[in-house]
Amino acid sequence: MSVQFGSCNLDGRPVDGADLERVRPALVPYGPDEEGFLCRDNLGILYRAFHTTRESRDETQPHVSPCGVVIVWDGRLDNRDELIRHADGRLSAGSTDLAIVAAAYQRWGTDAFARLIGDWALSVWDPRARSLILATDFVGARHLYYSVDKNQLKWSTILEPLLQFGDRPFVLCEEYIAGWFSSFPAAHLTPYAGIRSVPPSSFVMVRREGHVVKRYWDFDSGKTTRYGTDSEYGEHFRAAFTEAVRRRLRSDRAILAELSGGMDSSAIVCMADTILARGEAETPRLDTISYYDDSEPNWDERPYFTIVEARRGRTGCHICIPSLECCNLQFANDRFAATPGSPRHNAVTNEFAACLISRGSRVVLSGIGGDEVTGGVPTPLPELADLLVRGRMRKLARQLKAWALYARRPWFHLLVEVCRGFLPPTLVGIRRQMRPAAWLRPSFTERYLAALTGYESRLKVFGALPSFQENLRSLRGLQRQLACSVLDSEPLYETRYPFLDRSLLEFLYSIPADQLVRPGQRRSLMRRALIGIVPDELLNRRRKALASRAPMASIAADWARFEPMGQHMISASLGIVDAGVFSAVLRNICRGRQAPVVTVMRTLEIEFWLCHLREQQFLHPGPATGTVQLQFPQAEALKGKLLGVC
């Protein structure tokens, strides 16, 4: 997970190298291995390396081709062999990812981006077209932020340099804040109007005449995979999942894998062990890290992750999460928190850092996405909607009956729910789980209803099957979640997501919906395919419960800290939250009453973040225009605290 910062004067003016020198202290913690520097004419680039693969140590960045094209690459290329075969003998198995990417761009231009499989972000200055191109992978696992102001473009892997060395104050983005209250903001947004993020599966091309955002790749709704038996689907899934995990075991150091008591992380660890036993992985070792809270009755993970450890014959790192840590939302005062999702360092994160450092790991495997892509939510609606639009009424009737018996609901109610998915929300209303919080101001809710309801849209009768549309909807939610993740330099590590492998998702999105979920068989395909690899106790476990009690208990236990909030909420002064209503919700929590846990915690996260910005004296109220007019002071005043230095 290397980092870069760049500045390009689109009118041809030379870049001042002193600007790059000022940025260096902000980038050094994220790239401790080596530095690349280029300051030539109207282009300036600073690169800091964080090596996680053997080949990356041989890279020299920025890369300048014989024709003057400048490329900065941060990523892991998974289909190296395929791209090497297209290089007409100019590349070999020992070539770096950067060399392969440069050859691909030379041959195909921006069409090369669709061929790059892996987690990556890159910038390309092409002097032939006088254009600067920024691109990220299909799921947005790597970030690139950019700001275009008149004839100048600045971009960076992290937000701080763009805020620190901007030539104007920045205004907070209301839509971003609205998205934080629901299922995360749109992936192209940042908390600051004027700074955007390169969207997943897209590239931004900037010229003096302007800039455009283009998608370079998307899933093919016409691609279908059909087999005659369940076992054939299982074999294909097992092969695709094996490859997804193997690709992410490419590291010259030990890898640390998150191991909860759920099926996703357990499947990753067990499959990785299988691959390592065959000698097919580059990493020398896989260690695990597990979290638990014995005081949380709904979060009984320890009995399950210890089953996996027993099969491995190795005990991993165990970290207890005290209940009070659930609401430890304050940011450190000695470092700037650029987003509400910025790292909060506490006893738990310190233990994680110690575990990572003691094992010498730079890569962490995460099970994020498994629930969404393998049928973790046992709903029949996508399958039933497919049957409805295809006119397969007999099978629709059979499946309605089967699911109605399993769910103990009238089949007619299920059919009505299927039909509702094709109708606009203005006609049928917003799904209960996506309704905006009652404590948000009506004017704010009205302005940003789309963001507050997770950018919901109705299913289309024609075109892609409803199950395919639902798959893309779930993926967009995951992309928004990853877009809100923030790099942490204490400790510094790279996160990889096997369940978000592009090849694996292409397979899962091309098979019949009833392969994933069946009446009484949540994750049907995954369970069948991983028999003998994942312990039966995990495969047969009922859906893992969420730790919903601990956040509410911690609010009640620390009520003295939350009680004054109703009178002094910054988000209330900005016209976002009705402090009285929210304060009443918190009091009800103290009385043991139910509340929407996720939205309550998101509201607290936003409020503590705004408090942090105010305490750091980074924000000053602007004119009242119906939007959040909080502005940052000029760049030089921010320098010390943005960098976390005196």
**Please, what are the domains in the chain?**
3-159+195-215 (3.60.20.10), 230-374+477-539 (3.40.50.620), 381-471 (no CATH), 549-633 (no CATH)
Distances (CA, A) of 456 to 186, 369, 448, 452, 596: 12, 19, 12, 9, 19
Query: What DSSP state is assigned to residue 326?
Result: G
- Model confidence band, residue 324 (pLDDT cutoffs 50, 70, 90): low
Model confidence pLDDT, tens digit, residues 307-317: 999 999 999 99
pLDDT beyond 60 at 643: no
Q: What is the pLDDT of residues 414-455, one digit of tens each?
A: 999 999 999 887 777 777 677 899 999 999 999 999 999 989
Helix (H) or strand (E) holding 399: helix 393-407
Look-up of token digits 């069409």: 111
- The answer to whether 632 and 163 are in contact (CB under 8 A) is yes
Token pair 């996405």 is at which residue?
Answer: 369
pLDDT given for residue 329 in this prediction: 76
At residue 215, what are phi and psi to the nearest 5 degrees?
-80, 135
**In degrees, to the nearest 5, what angle opens at C-alpha 360 toward C-alphas 356 and 363?**
65
Q: What is the pTM of this model?
A: 0.93
Q: For the packed helices 263-277 and 302-312, what is the interaxial angle rounded to 10 degrees? A: 10
DSSP string, 577-642: B-HHHHHHHHHHHHTT----HHHHHHHHHHHHHHHHHHHTT--EE---SSS--EE---HHHHHHHH
pLDDT in tens, 178-213: 999 988 999 999 999 889 999 999 999 999 888 999
Average pLDDT over residues 152-179: 88
Tell me if 164 sits within 8 A of 26, measured CB to CB.
yes
Structure token digits, residue 511: 């098979």
376's CB contacts (< 8 A; 6+ apart) are: 263, 264, 370, 522, 523, 543
User: What does the pLDDT read at residue 549?
Assistant: 65
For residue 542, give both structure tokens.
């009922």
Residue range 26-45: mean pLDDT, rounded = 94
Residue 46's pLDDT band, with cuts at 50, 70 and 90, is very high
User: What pLDDT does residue 554 have?
Assistant: 74
The per-residue DSSP string of 385-438 comes to HHHHHTT-HHHHHHHHHHHHHHHTS-HHHHHHHHHHTTS-HHHH---GGGSPPT
Residue 135 has a pLDDT of 98
User: Residue 624 and residue 626: Cα distance in Å, rounded?
Assistant: 6
The mean of the pLDDT values for the chain is 89
CA end-to-end span of the chain: 27
**Pairwise CA distance, residues 30 & 336, whole Å:** 15
Please compute Rg for the chain using Cα positions.
25
What number of H helices and E strands is found in the chain? Answer: 26, 21
Q: Residue 164 and residue 394: Cα distance in Å, rounded?
A: 63
pLDDT given at position 326: 59
Task: For residue 32, say if its preceding peptide bond is cis, omega within 30 degrees of 0.
Answer: no
- Residue labelled with tokens 């209503």: 581
> Which pLDDT score is estimated for 591?
80
Is the pLDDT at 627 greater than 70, yes or no? no
**pLDDT at residue 427, as a whole number:** 76
CA distance 468 to 220: 9
Contact by Cβ (8 Å): 99, 33: no
